[in-house]
Amino acid sequence: MCETTATVEKKKVLSCIQPSGVPTLGNYLGALKNWVGMQDEFDCTFAVADLHAITVRQEPAKLRQQIYSIYALMLALGLDPNRSTLFIQSQVPEHAQLSWILSCYTQFGELSRMTQFKDKSASHADNINVGLFAYPALMAADILLYQPDFVPVGADQKQHLEIARDIALRFNRLYGDVFTVPEPYIPRAGARVMSLQNPTKKMSKSDPNPNGYVSILDDRDTVIRKFKRAVTDSQTQVCVGEGKDGVNNLIGIYSAITGKSEEEIAREFEGKGYGDFKLAVGETVADALAPIRTRYNELIADKKQLEVYYREGALRAERVARKTLCKAMKKVGFVL
Ligand code: TRP
């Protein structure tokens, strides 16, 4: 038998997050924690999607602070700049450039059907700008520039990933294999975290009741207090069941963090009340978030070091992005 020396190339993953404030425990357990884990298996690229953020009006100083903040948080969570490419979208001009090209291969009709566009047009009726409309073409550029095999996205972004695939296929049909057509990445165990106050609704940082959500940067006392106040039901047993949305949610959270199964959790709390259980979940979440908050505070206090990371990330991203952009420009007929 002959030995093979070829190393198997890792599959590529890309995803982005908008700088729209501190993510919740739901964002963490549902998405960000998976990003961290994916670094072992995949060649990962993660970006702060700040170009997307200005499709709705932003306060400049606040936006800048939120960009720093989410970038620092990505690092604090365990995204590793040595293994993954971590950058800020607006610092890699190829995104805007490819976005223009792709928008000429995207139909007015298909963008009009995007549910997020319809929703945001309704909620920002005084500012239905062209950027809001063209948003999916920019997102397609974000993705296709890096030729990823997989794109982890939540349910709300599935339609945008679908159109990115359609655009890639359309472009490839005209010009040959320019873009990898990416697949959605469905995590093996992605927790869907519900509001602590209304467990039939998804946990959201735009919840007017701050007790409904836990922010990744909430301090220990706040986390525990919010879990102590979590809405449950009139039964007493800690187990998964119908009509027990609140308890089911707490079990899901506890399971996502500890890795324990529902059965193990039910056994652990046999004979104990909801009060004990809520306290235990609160303490477990607080323990998990504490090191993230500590690391975040160090990173955000040192803007110089942060800058070293994001500049390096942008350079690495641009090397890849430039290649794809040039390929697309050539195919279209531009002079390089
Ligand atoms: N639109 C996504 C959101 O609002 C963020 C995003 C921008 C994104 N570009 C992307 C996600 C590319 C995945 C891939 O959540």
Structure confidence by residue, pLDDT tens digits, 238-289? 999 999 999 999 999 999 999 999 999 999 999 999 999 999 999 999 999 9
pLDDT in tens, 130-164: 999 999 999 999 999 999 999 999 888 999 999 99
138 C-beta neighbours (distance < 10 Å), count: 23
Predicted structure pTM score:
0.94
Provide the pLDDT for residue 197. Answer: 97
Higher pLDDT, 129 or 188: 129
pLDDT in tens, 301-310: 999 999 999 9
User: Is 323 annotated as catalytic?
Assistant: no
Provide the pLDDT for residue 4. Answer: 57
What whole-number distance in Å separates Cα of residue 309 and Cα of residue 46? 13
CB 332 within 8 A of CB 101: yes
Provide the pLDDT for residue 188. Answer: 65
CB 76 within 8 A of CB 114: no
Distance 54 CA to ligand 1 centre (A): 13
- 51 φ/ψ angles, rounded to the nearest 5 degrees: -65, -35
| CA 204 to mean position of chain CA atoms | 14
Nearest CA owner, ligand 1 atom 15: 17
**Which runs of consecutive H residues, i.e. helices, occur in 78-185?**
94-103, 108-112, 115-123, 130-144, 158-175
Options 12, 33, 120, 226, the catalytic residue: 120
**Among all chains, which residue has been given the structure tokens 């690495």?**
316
CB 189 within 8 A of CB 38: no
List the one residue out of 170, 183, 158, 45 whose CA is nearest residue 102: 170
- Which atom from ligand 1 is nearest to the alpha carbon of 138? 9
User: Is 120 annotated as catalytic?
Assistant: yes
Query: Which residues, listed in sequence order, are joined to residue 86 by a DSSP beta bridge?
Result: 46
